Structure 1
Amino acid sequence: MNKTDRMLAIVMELQRYGMRRAEDLAAQFETSVRTIYRDVQALSEAGVPIVGAPGMGYSLMEGYFLPPISFTAEEAVALLVGADFVHMLLDAEYGAKAHHAQQKIEAILTKPVQEEASRVRSAIRLLHERMAGTTVLEKERLEPLRHAILQKHSVHFHYSKSLTEPEDSRHSVRTVDPYGLVFTQAAWMLVAFCHERQAIRYFRLSRMRELMVLEQTFEIQPGFDLHARKVMDDRDIVVRMRFDASAGEHVQETGNFYMESLEPDESGWLATLRVRRIEELLQWTLSWGAAVEVLEPESLRERLREEIKKMQKRY
């Protein structure tokens, strides 16, 4: 942290906490107490009204605020919770930036707004719904991919397709030009120009292995617009099933990645799902036992019958 950034951070710390000792500031900014003394002197000479109390520390003169920004409690909560989302969904680098942003926002809030924002925020809790292991893998790949996108460097990786794909086509090695990152259907995906396919493709970060950023650079294809582009969705098999009324509430609570709707009807709950291959729903459907009936497609019904016969032979 350079001197200018450190001096601004000192002002924000004093504004946020009211009183801070030089020793505490030195430990926080990983510098010497003497350097903090010089920074405080420079701030005072620049017109920042810092008051020193022997044995207690430094504080800002009452009524001084930097920068002159005011937020309502609702606006502050929106920004603070938004930073929580960034910390949850992006990599460690942006997680740290989000934390620093939260500190800066809290530092410029007046005491009443800070207390109200804290009260509202204490009633909101964000929980990540996906497996922690998957999230860790994605976060590890987000940072190098972000840098590759910004610096326009090609990347190389091993890619694993869905387990429902045929064994001989399940794994591949790809070299791509990364264009952007998309968070959709509870997963991070890379939008990239694939050298092998000579076309733009989508790749799940959770299925990448041995990711390498190459020295080779690229230029984005003319006319490409990440925000205008429709995210590819090749789930073209529609599945309908009916759950017993007693199971409906539990289905709502647990949900399913492929589920598009769950609505009550006269016999229970009617669910509509879309998948690429019927095997993607096989084990999940079996887990509900007699509480579910697959209405269509017939191919899934037949696949369930085959699996149940195999289970009968075991038991």
Structure 2
Amino acid sequence: MNKTDRLLAIVLELQRNKVLRAEDLAAIFETSVRTIYRDIQALSEAGVSVVGAPGQGYSLMEGYFLPPVSFTVEEAVALLIGTDFIEHWFDVHYGSKSRTSRGKIEAILPEPIRTEASRIRKSFRLLTTAKDIARIQEKAYLEAIRRAILEERKIRFRYSKRVAEADGNRQSVRTVAPYGLVLHQGSWVLVTQCELRQNIRHFRLSRMSELVELEDRFILPADFLLDAYQPPDDRNVRVRIWVQPDIADKVRESNNFYIHTIEDHTEGLLVTLRVRQPEELLHWVLGWGSGVVVLEPETFRDRVRHELKKTLERY
């Protein structure tokens, strides 16, 4: 990084972090503390209102704000594609904000950069599939949940599980304290404190219905950080399948959440999956027809045989 770029970056860091020591800035920009002292002096001489407090660090004088900076073509493309992504994946509120943001970004770009950014952006496309159309309800819930998270209010909804509980029920009504939203492999997942289970639980928005925002409040635990949160891995059952060569690429590209390892062989693929219970894979395995053979566990092989027998009887 040359000196001019570093000076601009220092101002942006101070604008973002309020107070930073010379040692902090030296670590960020991988340079010496002495160089940072010289940079601060250069900024002051250029009219940037940098204030130094002994023992605390540097900050920008209150009210000082860096004027809009110019973007390179690559930076402009990144921002514009980002607005496309938000419009495609987020709720209606942020979808509309992404459109207005896109207009503002395009308005401040110099004509040559705007033209080049538009040309590059046209080479990218976010496709809408049948699955995406079904996400309309999910987007509506996303807005309500986002609001409940920010206002720290509980929500209630009916939830449909892929595999039935021990009592045979696949549906239950949950009242939860919503902690955060995670976009995982193309699906929105809500991280909550569930009153029914008295523990942290995850719920896919696509499996929710009858969502209601409640007046009951909750307090987010001080030690809960969504960025640092790691869900416990309770997928303790190993399922191994053999995949025929003619569908090997399709199985690989399916990107199944439960796939643990894939071993390439001349005769096909050996795929190991880790699940809570094998029934979670039943329809996925059956969907590949004779192209997939379950190797273990034997109980799951029997379950697949039973399901195929029932299918055959109906024909």
Query: Given the two structures, how large is their TM-score scaled by the length of structure 2?
Result: 0.71
Measured after TM superposition, the shift of residue 264 of structure 1 is 2.2
- Summarize the Cα distance change of 1:232–1:85 in structure 2 as closer, same or farther, 3 Å threshold: farther
Q: Which residue of 2 aligns with 1:296?
A: 296
Q: Which residue of 1 aligns with 2:151?
A: 151
> Residue 243 of structure 1 contacts residue 292 of structure 1 at CA under 8 Å; is this kept in 2?
yes
Q: Which residue of 2 aligns with 1:96?
A: 96
Other structure's SS at 2:135 match: helix
- Summarize the Cα distance change of 1:288–1:218 in structure 2 as closer, same or farther, 3 Å threshold: closer
- Summarize the Cα distance change of 1:193–1:94 in structure 2 as closer, same or farther, 3 Å threshold: same
Q: Which residue of 2 aligns with 1:213?
A: 213
Alpha-carbon separation, structure 1, partners of 2:274 and 2:171:
24
Structure 1 segment 211-250 matched on structure 2, within 5 A: 211-250=211-250
Matched, 1:251 2:251: yes
Q: Which residue of 2 aligns with 1:269?
A: 269
Of the structure 1 ranges 99-108 and 178-187, higher mean CA displacement relative to structure 2 is found in 178-187
Q: Which runs of 5+ in 2 are unaligned?
A: 1-66
Q: Which residue of 2 aligns with 1:119?
A: 119
Amino acid at match of 1:267: E
Structure 1 segment 24-103 matched on structure 2, within 5 A: 68-103=68-103
Measured after TM superposition, the shift of residue 314 of structure 1 is 3.6
Measured after TM superposition, the shift of residue 253 of structure 1 is 4.3
Q: Which runs of 5+ in 1 are unaligned?
A: 1-66
Alpha-carbon separation, structure 2, partners of 1:231 and 1:203:
12
Over residues 47-103 of structure 1, what are the superposed CA-to-partner deviations in whole Å (9 max), with x where a residue is unaligned? xxxxxxxxxxxxxxxxxxxx6421111111111111111111110000111111111
Matched, 1:198 2:198: yes
- Summarize the Cα distance change of 1:294–1:197 in structure 2 as closer, same or farther, 3 Å threshold: closer
Of the structure 1 ranges 214-223 and 82-91, higher mean CA displacement relative to structure 2 is found in 214-223
Amino acid at match of 1:114: R
Measured after TM superposition, the shift of residue 263 of structure 1 is 4.1
- Summarize the Cα distance change of 1:232–1:105 in structure 2 as closer, same or farther, 3 Å threshold: farther
Amino acid at match of 1:239: V
Amino acid at match of 2:208: M
- Summarize the Cα distance change of 1:107–1:192 in structure 2 as closer, same or farther, 3 Å threshold: same
Other structure's SS at 1:282 match: helix
> Residue 154 of structure 2 contacts residue 177 of structure 2 at CA under 8 Å; is this kept in 1?
yes
- Summarize the Cα distance change of 1:186–1:157 in structure 2 as closer, same or farther, 3 Å threshold: same
State how many pairs are aligned: 249
Q: Which residue of 2 aligns with 1:34?
A: none
> Residue 157 of structure 1 contacts residue 173 of structure 1 at CA under 8 Å; is this kept in 2?
yes
> Residue 164 of structure 1 contacts residue 280 of structure 1 at CA under 8 Å; is this kept in 2?
no
Alpha-carbon separation, structure 1, partners of 2:237 and 2:138:
27
Alpha-carbon separation, structure 1, partners of 2:207 and 2:145:
14
Over residues 153-186 of structure 1, what are the superposed CA-to-partner deviations in whole Å (9 max), with x where a residue is unaligned? 1212222222444564422222222221111233
Moved over 4 A (4+): none
Amino acid at match of 1:272: T
Of the structure 1 ranges 166-175 and 296-305, higher mean CA displacement relative to structure 2 is found in 166-175
Q: Which residue of 1 aligns with 2:19?
A: none
- Summarize the Cα distance change of 1:119–1:159 in structure 2 as closer, same or farther, 3 Å threshold: same
Alpha-carbon separation, structure 2, partners of 1:68 and 1:304:
61
Over residues 107-132 of structure 1, what are the superposed CA-to-partner deviations in whole Å (9 max), with x where a residue is unaligned? 11111111111111111112356713
Amino acid at match of 2:119: R
Other structure's SS at 1:200 match: strand
- Summarize the Cα distance change of 1:272–1:85 in structure 2 as closer, same or farther, 3 Å threshold: farther
Measured after TM superposition, the shift of residue 231 of structure 1 is 3.3
Alpha-carbon separation, structure 2, partners of 1:135 and 1:177:
23
Other structure's SS at 1:131 match: helix
Alpha-carbon separation, structure 2, partners of 1:233 and 1:98:
35
Alpha-carbon separation, structure 1, partners of 2:270 and 2:129:
24
Other structure's SS at 1:96 match: helix
Q: Which residue of 2 aligns with 1:110?
A: 110
Alpha-carbon separation, structure 2, partners of 1:230 and 1:274:
17
Alpha-carbon separation, structure 1, partners of 2:252 and 2:246:
11
Amino acid at match of 2:231: V
Of the structure 1 ranges 224-233 and 76-85, higher mean CA displacement relative to structure 2 is found in 224-233
Query: Given the two structures, how large is their TM-score scaled by the length of structure 1?
Result: 0.71
Alpha-carbon separation, structure 2, partners of 1:130 and 1:110:
38
Alpha-carbon separation, structure 2, partners of 1:173 and 1:212:
11
Q: Which residue of 2 aligns with 1:184?
A: 184
Amino acid at match of 1:270: L
Alpha-carbon separation, structure 1, partners of 2:128 and 2:240:
28
Alpha-carbon separation, structure 2, partners of 1:198 and 1:211:
20
Of the structure 1 ranges 88-97 and 268-277, higher mean CA displacement relative to structure 2 is found in 268-277
Matched, 1:306 2:306: yes
Identity of aligned residues (%): 49
Amino acid at match of 2:215: E
> Residue 163 of structure 2 contacts residue 279 of structure 2 at CA under 8 Å; is this kept in 1?
no
